[in-house]
Structure 1
């Protein structure tokens, strides 16, 4: 029987970007089904708690993300535009958010079409790999979707016809039920593994559960 791995993930999270190649390898190595469950970032999901403990947290995250990317041999750069419209000096979140709701809804639709992890992989690389600014301009997002085997225009039409928010909210509730709030979080049988650096621990757990490896 195939083991289910829930992947709670955000398009605003650099750690989500960094974990995605590991998730693809995990799926190649084990008899698992990875359920891609995109959530809204804390910046809009629970903005009253965001960085309330001072600027040190922001500074450390930037330091750690750059270090972790170098350790993994992955390119990284600040996204332009940021998927969340936010004043990074005051940390104030704008009321209008033209990017993150669409991206998260597209993630839901990609998973519905069986290509959620692939979509996350290519789109997060577009946003976070430090390429030319303007990931949202021209055909760049459509090209990333095409690499994942998807048609962006068709997906946009689908999320206009069927509101993805109920699925997003269910994903957020499932993340909380699994015992965490941050991303990326992987969950197996209700046990959460939070953070890009918990992949090896997740692999250990799959081995302990007797999940077969693919030949």
Structure 2
């Protein structure tokens, strides 16, 4: 049974990096995965009742941030995946997300994995047009899309896509949606697979 699954992600999430590599390694195979770039900053602003591109407000307390850092390191070791702290420490993922939104599948999936690896393995600045052009070249997509990703139109489109995701029930990344069901977090991939396997054949 082939099921259509929407993958909501922001490159800035290390958990999206883990999930993308698990999917790339075919841990969950045989389904139609649709990659849906969204901005985590916009999602957080919408939840707080702020306008989409309101100034960033750190949502994490000191203990939660310390836990997140330790958790990410443990998971990298658990999955045996390379992990290096991004540079800059808080990457600007908006241009890369805008570019991903301009690319059709299956190139979008390939591009997204390449960008995640560039950020979390190679410490590349994914807001740099040259870095994005190199990532895009790996997919065979048109190089002239890079300049379009830095336009206000692309930024507006990303905000609109994120608002649509929020209206669907997406509040964080990565999230996986199958119909009306939403599974939040890399650690929900097993539950997603279990749920799909138990679905009646008529629900596919």
Is the pair's TM-score, using the shorter chain for normalization, greater than 0.5?
yes
Q: Does 1:142 align with 2:128?
A: no
**Which secondary structure state, in structure 2, belongs to the residue aligned with residue 80 of structure 1?**
coil
Q: Which 5+ residue runs of structure 2 have no aligned equivalent?
A: 46-55
- Per the TM alignment, residue 167 of structure 1 is displaced from its structure 2 partner at its CA by 3.7
Q: Does 1:101 align with 2:76?
A: no
Do 2:8 and 2:36's aligned partners in 1 also have CA atoms closer than 8 Å? yes
Query: Aligned equivalents of 1:170 and 1:138: distance in 2?
Result: 23
**Which secondary structure state, in structure 1, belongs to the residue aligned with residue 75 of structure 2?**
helix
Which residue number in structure 1 is paired with residue 36 of structure 2? Answer: 37
The aligned runs of 1:36-75 (5 Å cut-off) are 36-42=35-41, 45-46=44-45, 47-48=56-57, 50-51=59-60, 54-75=61-82
Which residue number in structure 1 is paired with residue 159 of structure 2? Answer: 169
Query: Aligned equivalents of 1:157 and 1:140: distance in 2?
Result: 12
Which residue number in structure 2 is paired with residue 3 of structure 1? Answer: 3
Determine which of 184, 190, 200 is the counterpart of 1:200. 190
Do 1:27 and 1:33's aligned partners in 2 also have CA atoms closer than 8 Å? no
Determine which of 124, 132, 157 is the counterpart of 2:147. 157
Query: Aligned equivalents of 1:72 and 1:124: distance in 2?
Result: 15
Do 2:170 and 2:182's aligned partners in 1 also have CA atoms closer than 8 Å? yes
- Per the TM alignment, residue 4 of structure 1 is displaced from its structure 2 partner at its CA by 1.9
CA spacing shift, 1:100–1:139, aligned 2, 3 Å: closer
Do 1:186 and 1:194's aligned partners in 2 also have CA atoms closer than 8 Å? yes
Query: Aligned equivalents of 1:83 and 1:121: distance in 2?
Result: 19
**Which secondary structure state, in structure 1, belongs to the residue aligned with residue 153 of structure 2?**
coil
Do 1:178 and 1:191's aligned partners in 2 also have CA atoms closer than 8 Å? no
- Per the TM alignment, residue 147 of structure 1 is displaced from its structure 2 partner at its CA by 1.8
Q: Which 5+ residue runs of structure 1 have no aligned equivalent?
A: 85-98
Which residue number in structure 1 is paired with residue 17 of structure 2? Answer: 17
**Which secondary structure state, in structure 2, belongs to the residue aligned with residue 57 of structure 1?**
helix
CA spacing shift, 1:83–1:113, aligned 2, 3 Å: farther
CA spacing shift, 1:200–1:67, aligned 2, 3 Å: same
Determine which of 88, 107, 113 is the counterpart of 1:115. 107
* Count of residue correspondences: 191
Query: Aligned equivalents of 1:209 and 1:71: distance in 2?
Result: 30
Q: For structure 1, which segment, 186-195 or 135-144, has the greater mean C-alpha deviation from structure 2 after superposition?
A: 135-144
CA spacing shift, 1:4–1:134, aligned 2, 3 Å: closer
- TM-score between both structures, scaled by the size of structure 2: 0.79
Question: Superposition RMSD on alpha carbons, in Å?
Answer: 2.9
- Per the TM alignment, residue 38 of structure 1 is displaced from its structure 2 partner at its CA by 0.9
